[in-house]
């Protein structure tokens, strides 16, 4: 049995329990905005890869990717980057409203499956988004990291 808590200690510890509900709402919004930025970077990568794979008209050598095998690799990578960008935009929309991380993970996993991708592919991207500094609010950053960690774990286990 624990001894009763000192009243002064009880008052002090009452507000020190970690991020509150508003912090989690701000964290979800911060994480969603970071996912949009990550999606923009992936979309730019996809566009650059598609441009690199394009053969320039009038180029007798066919450009740097005239070999069909190299073009196929570049176009496949561009397609993967574009798909991940689209899925991150879906995840951002789902996450931005906040809510139970398990429910959010289920909705994100369903979107990934509709896109023909394993949900675990998004785990690293969501973690990376959480590391992006989108706010000076420390409690919101902690909440965003907590949400991202939970989502990444749940998506990593989803099939």
Structural domain count, the chain: 1
- What pLDDT, in 10s, does the model give residues 128-142? 999 887 788 888 899
CB-count burial class (<10 Å; 0-12, 13-18, 19+) for 11:
exposed
Nearest CA to 123 among 100, 75, 91?
Answer: 91
Does 98 reside within a domain?
yes
Does 29 reside within a domain?
yes
Does 13 reside within a domain?
no
Does 120 reside within a domain?
yes
CA distance 150 to 148: 5
pTM score above 0.85: no
Does 5 reside within a domain?
no
- What pLDDT, in 10s, does the model give residues 73-118? 889 999 999 999 999 999 999 999 888 889 999 999 999 999 888 9
Domain span at 103: 22-157
CA distance 90 to 88: 5
Does 7 reside within a domain?
no
Does 74 reside within a domain?
yes
The residue ranges of DSSP E strands in the chain, in sequence order, are none
Does 136 reside within a domain?
yes
């Amino acid at each position: 049995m624990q001894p009763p808590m000192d009243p002064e200690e009880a008052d002090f510890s009452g507000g020190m329990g970690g991020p509150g509900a508003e912090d989690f709402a701000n964290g979800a919004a911060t994480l969603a905005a970071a996912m949009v930025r990550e999606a923009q970077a992936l979309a730019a990568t996809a566009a650059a890869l598609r441009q690199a794979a394009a053969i320039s008209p009038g180029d007798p050598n066919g450009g740097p990717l005239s070999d069909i095998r190299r073009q196929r690799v570049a176009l496949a990578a561009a397609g993967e980057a574009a798909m991940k960008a689209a899925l991150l935009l879906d995840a951002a929309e789902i996450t931005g409203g906040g809510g139970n991380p398990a429910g959010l993970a289920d909705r994100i996993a369903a979107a990934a499956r509709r896109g023909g991708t394993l949900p675990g592919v998004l785990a690293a991207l969501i973690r990376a988004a959480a590391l992006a500094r989108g706010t000076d609010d420390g409690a919101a950053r902690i909440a965003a990291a907590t949400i991202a960690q939970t989502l990444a774990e749940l998506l990593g286990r989803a099939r």
